[in-house]
Amino acid sequence: MSKASPQAPSEKSLYTLLGTIILVVVVSVLGAHATYSYLSQRDRMIQEMTENSTLSIATLQQNIAPLLQAYAVNEYENLVATEISLRKHFAIVVTNNLLGNVLGEGAYVSGKIRDAAGEVIDFRKAEHAHWLENEYENSAPITDAAGNRLGSVSVFISNKQMKEQLWEGFIQQLLYALAIALLLVVPLLWAIHRRLLRPLAEIARVIGEVDRDGVPTAPMPSYRYREINVLTDAMRQMVRVIEASRDSLHREGSRLQSVLEGTNVGTWEWNVQTGETLFNERWAGIVGYTLAELEPISFNTWLSLLHPDDHEISGKCLEAHFSDPASYYDCEVRMRHKDGHWVWVQDRGKVAVWDGDGKPLIMSGTHQDISRRKQTEEQLQNSWSRLQTLLDTASDGIHTSMKTAMSPSSASPFSACWGTPARRPRNCMSLIWFRRFPGRNWSSKYVRSSSTRRSSKLDIGARMARRSMSRSMPRGSCSAGRSTSTRPPGISLAARKRNASCVSRPASSPTALKVS
Amino acid sequence: MRKVISRCSHALTGVLLFILSLFAVAAPPTERRLAYVVSDLGIPYWEIMSRGISSRAEKLGYRTTVYSTANNAKQEFEVIAALINQKVDGILLSPSNSSAAVTLLKLAGNAGIPVVIADIGSDGGEYVSYIASDNLQGSYQIGKVLADAMRAKGWHDGSVGIIAIPQMRANGRERTAGFMKAMDEAGIKGAGLHQQVEFSYQETYAFATQLIESNPNLRALWLQGSDRYQAALDAIAAAGRRDQIMLVSFDAEPEFLQMIPEGTLVGAAMQQPFLIGEKAVDALDSHLNGRTVVKEQTTPVLPVSRENISELLPAINRNVLGLGESQ
């Protein structure tokens, strides 16, 4: 059992993505809300401050008048202090004409004002009058019951104070938005983690626990949620299909391996365009190596082991196959064994994959040791040589033929002896005995067809010299068809070396034979 | 000859101018002037205090002028404005109330005139010193005198009614607090409190009558001011409870020296206005001479009863009634 492949660097965390989405959405919504609230609050604050100043003016107008008349200055200043604190005005200034007259000043001015720290202090005209410049002012006269003017009251609203209050409101809105964002994001992330991501992580963990074939081994858990269970059910089904396919592949692979082992062939796969090549252990074993010893394996590995004289014929075989995709590649070549001797191998294969331009891409096939067959052929050659010698020294003529068909167009020694091959029965095994008669040339005495059980007399009047017959025997030609088991004797070793052969055989006539 | 006379006259003129300039440099300092602004000089307490102020100021070389404002805020402002114009060296103030004092102090302060507050107090503002009676101590001690007297007569389960000066004043609140503390300690119940507004005979009589009629178990009346004691005595007599309700007072009247020994009055917490006036001048003088002055100063209140009146009589005559040096 093993773990799945590690996380690739380009992969992104679903946590990060969902968290980012939630944060962006929440912050955007709350930001818009905070902006709207801020603007609304600003308008409301301006309106409230204006209304507050108007309300203060009305209150002070009503309450200060009797105190002015009673010269209770400290009393109305206490009212002013209360009003400025309650309604958060910047300043309230009372002009007292009655006391002013008593003091000979025209008007006694007093009140309360906020200093830089926001503390309410006594208003002194000489010190603080310039503080009130450019501030919003709301004033009203103070009169007695008869309407006589006793003085006036002025309420001032500070722009700075307004800005500070707006800033304070903005900070409150910001804190509110952050708190709401926190309250939204944390539960959402927790819920997503708890209800979605954790099951997905668990599923990923289960899928990640695989056997050596990469098939999950742990049972897929079930969940309360339909959508996740659809996923897990699909995965269970998928795993079952994969397991069945794997078993089928294992069985198929075993069968193929058995076939390969039974036929004792090596296998190869070649990327024609890159040269990348795969061999099996048997392929290497045919030439006495292990795969490890041949590392690094490529097309050059094969080329390096190929007999120099067979490069050309091998190339021709490949070209023949590449030019005719319907054909097979079949080539007998020699390869150097690890011990130094040459091994006859038969390479068979076919292009399995062609690229988009119609060029071969992947080619695969088998690699079979045919040295024993080649040895048999050599022994047959030797026997044939001995027969040749016998024929050369015998007074009678002898001809043997396999029980097989004969092509009418074949030019055989036999036909040279017998005239037209059209007369020769098909599928016959014949033994022809030639007797030399003194003073006469070759004549036929007796011929019997084993296949037809039909006897006939053949008058061989042809004048054919023995030597010429032996010379006309086929030699050193490419074998035709799948088998070249019947070769005429009398082929020298040099000729056999030239006999590295190939065939580009149409796939539609695999059984066509030529026998000579 | 004329030239000689002219030269001699010029030389004589120059010498005279030089001699006059020397005299001008060596002239004595101008007389320092103090002003005492009091809410109502018709009240003996303030009148005695004014005598104490004048007596001490004269000894210290000040010329003192006393201004009575008749408890009128406008008059107070007019007096202060006039004093500011006169550029007096200092003001001794017994304001009509502690709230009004704030503005008066502000005006004087703006003019750079130092102020010492003699009694009443101020709700704020800057002043040199505040000289006052220890109202809490005096009312507490006179409360104990009354409690002892009630206990002596077996009236400790009776109640006590209070005719108070305005509780807006700090001295009024202190008097009530000290007295009630003594009552609580003695386990004597309160029968109610009425605040004087007009300080008139009729007002005091009416309050006393209401307390007597609404509290059958009333055994004592406490007057936080002495000037209308007769109204209380008359109300008790009118209710037919002359021997059943005792009277105790804060402050003093000359008649008290006889009434207390007779038992008509159980006792009186006597402030020492003459002494307060003297201490106020001393404080202002110290400030004008650059000495450090204690910001808040209290003078003890004498808890005078039948038992201790003979012992306290010299102090009463001088400091309470102002019968000492000036009389």
CB proximity B73 to A under 8 Å: yes
Specify the higher pLDDT residue, B78 or A221. B78
Q: How many CB pairs under 8 A join A and B?
A: 33
Q: How far is A45 from chain B (nearest CA, A)?
A: 34
CA distances to A63, A150, B3, B315 from A91, in Å:
18, 20, 76, 53
Residue found under tokens 């365009």: A273
Question: Tens of pLDDT along A459-508?
Answer: 343 333 333 344 433 333 333 333 333 334 333 344 444 455 655 444 43
Rounded distance between C-alpha atoms, residue B297 and residue B129, angstroms: 7
What pLDDT, on the 0 to 100 scale, is given for residue A397?
55
pLDDT tens digits for range A147-195:
999 999 999 988 777 777 788 888 888 888 888 888 888 888 888 888 8
A chain contacts of residue B74, beta-carbon cutoff 8 Å: 71, 102
Point out the residue among B78, B81, B103 whose CB comes nearest to the CB of A74. B103
Q: What is the pTM of this model?
A: 0.53
Q: B99 and A72: CB-CB below 8 Å?
A: yes
Residue B213: is it exposed, middle or buried by C-beta count within 10 angstroms (0-12/13-18/19+)? Answer: exposed
Nearest to A150 by CA among A50, A56, A76, A51: A76
pLDDT value, residue B76: 95
Chain B contact probe: residue of A68, A69, A73, A112 with most B CBs at under 10 A: A73
In a 3-state reduction of DSSP, which class is residue A297? coil
Comparing alpha-carbon positions, the chain B residue that sits nearest to A69 is B74
Concatenating the DSSP letter of every residue in A228-277 gives HHHHHHHHHHHHHHHHHHHHHHHHHHHHHHHHHHHHTEEEEEEETTT-BE
Which of A75, A99, A122 faces B99 most closely, judged by CB atoms?
A75
Determine what percent of chain A is predicted with pLDDT higher than 90. Answer: 30
- What is the rounded CA–CA span in Å between residue B51 and residue A183? 77
B74/A72 Cβ within 8 A = no
- Closest CB to A99: pick one of B77, B101, B124: B77
With 70 as the cut, is the pLDDT of residue A130 above it? yes
Q: Which long-range contacts (CB under 8 A, 24 or more apart) does A316-321 make?
A: A316/A502, A317/A347, A317/A502, A317/A503, A317/A504, A320/A502, A320/A504, A321/A349, A321/A350, A321/A351, A321/A504
Q: What is the mean pLDDT of each run of 10 residues along chain B (327 residues)?
A: 54 52 50 94 91 96 96 94 96 93 94 95 93 95 97 94 90 94 96 94 97 96 93 96 95 92 96 95 97 95 96 94 67
Q: Between the CA of residue A259 and those of A96, A255, A277, A411, what are the distances in Å?
A: 123, 6, 22, 40
**What is the ipTM metric for this complex?**
0.76
Q: Six-digit token pair at A356?
A: 């988009």
- Within 8 A of A101 by CB-CB distance, chain B residues are none
Alpha helices in chain B (DSSP H): 2-25, 44-59, 73-86, 98-111, 135-152, 170-186, 201-214, 229-238, 256-262, 273-288, 309-315
pLDDT tens digits, one per residue of A34-86: 888 888 888 888 888 888 889 999 999 989 999 999 999 999 999 999 999 98
